[in-house]
Amino acid sequence: MEFAEGAVHEHSWAVVRDGRITALADLYDEPVGPAREGALEAVDAAAPSARADVALCLAAWLEDLRATGVATLDSDNHPTDPHASPLLATLDCEEVDVVRLVEIPNGITAALRDVP
């Protein structure tokens, strides 16, 4: 696992355990300015440290973005994510847009739904 193509490396974060990346917070290269976009994920959702590693990435990422003047972050995640979604739900959001979610069949189920 590595950072997304086009990720802004100086403002993206990773947790490394035993020489391997276990969680990532990617800041996308566009848009630029005070409104940014990125993604947060565990490499192996079943790993015992996955949730803690995602939390470490999120904390470092938000602190860094705040220090650089970012006011809005759109996170490219989905509600069925077992780690990022519950962590993101703990944050106080000033504004939430309706999200249209398409889950690609991966052995679980495919669904199209609106999430408030």
pLDDT at position 67 is: 94
CA 111 to chain centre: 21
Inside any domain, residue 23: yes
CA atoms of 65 and 54, how far apart (whole Å): 16
Give SS3 for 48: coil
pLDDT at position 45 is: 85
Inside any domain, residue 107: yes
Inside any domain, residue 18: yes
Q: Which domain holds residue 85?
A: 9-115
Inside any domain, residue 4: no
**Hey, which residues does 51 pair with through a beta bridge?**
none
How many folded domains does the chain comprise? 1
Inside any domain, residue 99: yes
Inside any domain, residue 3: no
Q: What CATH number does the domain containing 16 carry?
A: 3.40.630.30
Q: What is the DSSP letter of 5?
A: T
Inside any domain, residue 2: no
pLDDT at position 110 is: 39
Inside any domain, residue 68: yes
One digit per residue, the tens of pLDDT, for the chain of length 116 reads 567 777 899 999 999 999 999 999 999 998 899 989 888 988 888 899 999 999 999 999 999 999 999 988 888 776 667 888 788 778 776 666 544 444 455 444 433 333 34
